[in-house]
Chain A
């Protein structure tokens, strides 16, 4: 057995322990699926403040991300869908002026994160031309079509959810639970992955790995696999 870098952490609390104040956190999940529930719950017991959260939506109900809003740990949210009725905690904080919002198109958000992970500082996209999403942004015409200049969106930390991980941090996803997780895993200096099961290196066939281990720094086995903050 060759020696391999074992990235397994003993638990969610240990994995998030050194996230500093002011960190920008890329948080995976869409529609309650593929949410790193245990790592997110550990953040509620963590003292870090002044966080910027990048997430598709603005939380759901009173659990998960909404707990961090209530705790006033989040100073800014970057998301694609801010004011769903289920995101009432965020709405309350936002209307009270307690949290800053940057709302961007979902595909632009994904591509800004992808660019950050791929070493691309900026790109032009046709999405949002002539809308609020283009306000105060450079617009340039390519052939016969206008496009908006958008910048890479890197994180200090990515918190993602995988179906399986090996000890080296190779990840796989299941169904539509990939969503933002694979792209976010590439785009932060520190990537934390929560998995439903952890296997030995070699058990995931190389051609079936969705997120190669190079992107992943720490892996935890989710303590409570039934935990659902959005149901």
Chain B
């Protein structure tokens, strides 16, 4: 975030965002992690919490990344990275995998976002223009998961807004985001609209509002997002 020194100074590192998202996942949940920062969330979920990670290419029970010598070339995640299977894992084909996803059996999907709208619309698969991006599993995951946690930087590199009244990029799903985690704020989407729950240390609600198009309601007790990663 280059456009505003105050916001830039307060902004969380990706690992801080991932750590905060991990706290928001309830014990025992089945979670699908998207590409990018969402993948890091697994690093901050303690194994004793009973959380299971699944990937849409057909694995429930993803373990830590294997050492290079331990890689199994038949075992990957949806980002085509080698993975391990935990004891109790299962594998299955695409028809079963997306039946799980659409059928509401996946509790939480953590997805990267390009834009999020006031009512929780998600745009994350392409930018306007021919020959860019791909849908992949994003629309199914957004539509089918019980909750979608979205992660993005609050602003574009040029300072443009990404939390908007209406998304301008092609949509992935409508009214699907339940919680949004940015580098400066944690916002929950409620029936009454977006609710600002936490802000990065050193900022207040007005700082977040001036870089967000929708009017934000502010939680009675506004929390602080911790920055633990040294820059």
Contacts and interface: CB of A to CB of B under 8 A. Distances in A.
Interface string B41-52: 000000000000
Contacts of A81: 134-136
Nearest to B121: A130
Nearest to B73: A33
A182 B74 contact: no
B137 interface: yes
B74 A105 contact: no
Contacts of B136: 80-81, 105-106
Interface size class of A (residues with CB under 8 A): 35 or more
A69 interface: no
A128 interface: yes
The bracket for how many chain B residues form the interface is 35 or more
Contacts of B102: 107, 111, 125-127
B132 interface: yes
Contacts of B121: 130
Given A114-B95, A173-B93, A132 B170 contact: yes
A127 B133 CA distance: 18
Interface string A162-202: 01000000000111111111110000000000000000000
Interface of B (DSSP majority class): loop
B94 A180 contact: yes
Contact of B58 (A84, A104, A114, A176): A176
Nearest to B133: A83
A80 B136 CA distance: 5
B143 interface: yes
Contacts of B72: 175
A27 B79 CA distance: 19
B58 A106 contact: no
A133 B135 contact: yes
B134 A80 contact: yes
Contact of A127 (B73, B75, B140, B171): B140
B5 interface: no
A176 B85 CA distance: 10
Given A106-B98, A133-B135, A178-B58, A127 B143 contact: yes
Given A83-B131, A111-B98, A33 B76 contact: yes
Interface of B: 55-59, 72-80, 85, 91-95, 97-99, 101-102, 121, 126, 130-140, 143-144, 170-174
12 contacts: A31-B80, A83-B131, A83-B132, A83-B134, A107-B97, A107-B101, A107-B139, A111-B102, A131-B173, A175-B72, A176-B76, A183-B94
